[in-house]
Amino acid sequence: MDSIIFDLDGTIWDPIDTVLLAWNSRLKEHPQVHRELTRTDFEGTMGLQMQEISLKLFPYLTEDVRDQVIRECCEVEQGYLEKHGGSLFPQVETVLKRLSNSYKLYIVSNCQDGYIESFYTYHQLDKYFRDFENPVRTGLSKGENIQLIIERNNLTSPIYIGDTEGDLKAARYAKIPFIYAQYGFGEISEYDDVIDSFPALSKFY
């Protein structure tokens, strides 16, 4: 193993409370939206791409209105995350620092462009990661983005750590081992290894 590629939401941090504040602040300006969103709403969208998220949260809106609402919410969200951050899982920086001494670290997430950068801005963890990717920037699926990171950085034996079925499928697509972050948002049908907390990654020190 020469490298570790991480999912972000549900693997490194829980951003939902901050994202809820951001989105609900903007949704108040859209009377066609029936209600405020809840934490449960967002937990059900973890690992999905933005188009899938918009359809799941606002199935009663037309596609044009959905796209507008999502675009506005994401713009507000980025500012909120830069100012307030999210909830890091326990000992994230300590573990990343130790891991980065032995492995090259990366992030591949199904987020919008600017999201990972907002995570970096608030939590100042970019120094531990060598590269990152998202589908908006590349137009690729998560599995394809994992492959892109592998090829771009000449990785020979990476693993992927995530918490959703989509993460599992992406790792399988890229033909690399999948480590299930059991403490995250999803339930997985299979995995190559499992961790019950972020500090459990100490097994790789």
Q: What is the pLDDT of residues 32-79, one digit of tens each?
A: 998 899 999 998 888 777 888 999 999 999 999 999 999 999 899 999
Are 10 and 42 in contact, with CB atoms under 8 Å apart?
A: no
- SS3 assignment, position 59: coil
So what's the architecture of 3-14+87-204 in CATH?
3-Layer(aba) Sandwich (3.40)
Are 24 and 37 in contact, with CB atoms under 8 Å apart?
A: yes
* 99 has pLDDT over 90: yes
* Residue count of the chain: 205
pTM, whole model, 2 decimals? Answer: 0.92
Structure tokens at 87: 């909830």
Are 90 and 127 in contact, with CB atoms under 8 Å apart?
A: no
Angstrom distance (rounded) from CA 2 to CA 103: 5
- pLDDT of amino acid 43: 87
Mean pLDDT (whole number) for 154-169: 96
Query: Which residues are within 8 A (CB) of 38 and not within 5 positions of it... i.e. 6 or more apart?
Result: 20
- pLDDT of amino acid 41: 92
Angstrom distance (rounded) from CA 197 to CA 74: 29
Are 119 and 151 in contact, with CB atoms under 8 Å apart?
A: no
Are 183 and 197 in contact, with CB atoms under 8 Å apart?
A: yes
